[in-house]
Amino acid sequence: MPDTTPEDRYEQFVALYTRNEPGLRSFVRSLVPSWTDADEVMQNAGLVLWRKFSDFVPEKDARTEFFRWACVVARFEVLAWRRDKARDRHVFDEELIGLLADDSIEEEEVLAAERKALEVCLEKLSEKQRKIIMAAYEPGARLNRVAETLGKSATAFYKMLNRTRKGLLECIRSVTQEGEAA
């Protein structure tokens, strides 16, 4: 990119990498047998991505293009990891890694669209519905305790939660279909 300082490029890399790291980690994890292996590949991929970041020149959407580019780099790192581990019987062959990689990239794009749609749909909920959903999906939440906190019986809470979930699902489908048509 013309007229950018090394600090600007570093900040751009960190912003893009941080934003795409969860999807990239999921992509890598789908190609290797364990989380430990995924961590090893991610570390190597991160180093390669930084070393080669000067070659990355997005044409339109830097975030989407970075993710695809990072997946290509990560795929090669998985193949290098595989060569190093070739004697291990738990390692996929190169053809299967290629198929899984292609599927994983497509799946991550679908999931990203669904996450964006979920954000839009959560904003459309009433304050009460949003509280129900947020309380139900709070880490470590126990639905019977949440119901109690809201002054509802467990049965009434489950019914409210299910109605809200169904509404969210319909909204997500609608928003993603609109996005595909655009």
- 16 and 70 housed in the same domain: yes
Domain boundary among the residues 75, 110, 145 is at: 110
Q: What is the pLDDT of residues 22-77, one digit of tens each?
A: 999 998 998 888 889 999 999 999 999 999 998 888 888 777 789 989 999 999 99
Helix, strand, or coil (residue 125): coil
Band the pLDDT of 1: cuts 50, 70, 90. very low
DSSP string, 28-97: HHTTSSSHHHHHHHHHHHHHHHHHHGGG---SS-HHHHHHHHHHHHHHHHHHHHHHHTTT-TTPPPHHHH
Structural domain count, the chain = 2
Which position has the higher pLDDT, 154 or 95? 154
Length of the chain: 182
Query: How far, in Å, CA of 56 to CA of 64, rounded?
Result: 12
- 92 and 40 housed in the same domain: yes
* 119 domain residue, yes or no: no
* 37 domain residue, yes or no: yes
Q: What is the pLDDT of residues 71-95, one digit of tens each?
A: 999 999 998 988 887 665 665 667 7
* 147 domain residue, yes or no: yes
Domain boundary among the residues 110, 137, 169 is at: 110
Band the pLDDT of 180: cuts 50, 70, 90. low
| Residue bearing tokens 């890399």 | 13
pLDDT at 8: 86
Q: Is 106 exposed, middle or buried (0-12, 13-18, 19+ CB in 10 A)?
A: exposed
> In terms of residue numbers, what domain contains 102?
1-110
Q: What is the largest CA-CA distance in the chain?
A: 62
- Mean pLDDT throughout 95-106? 76
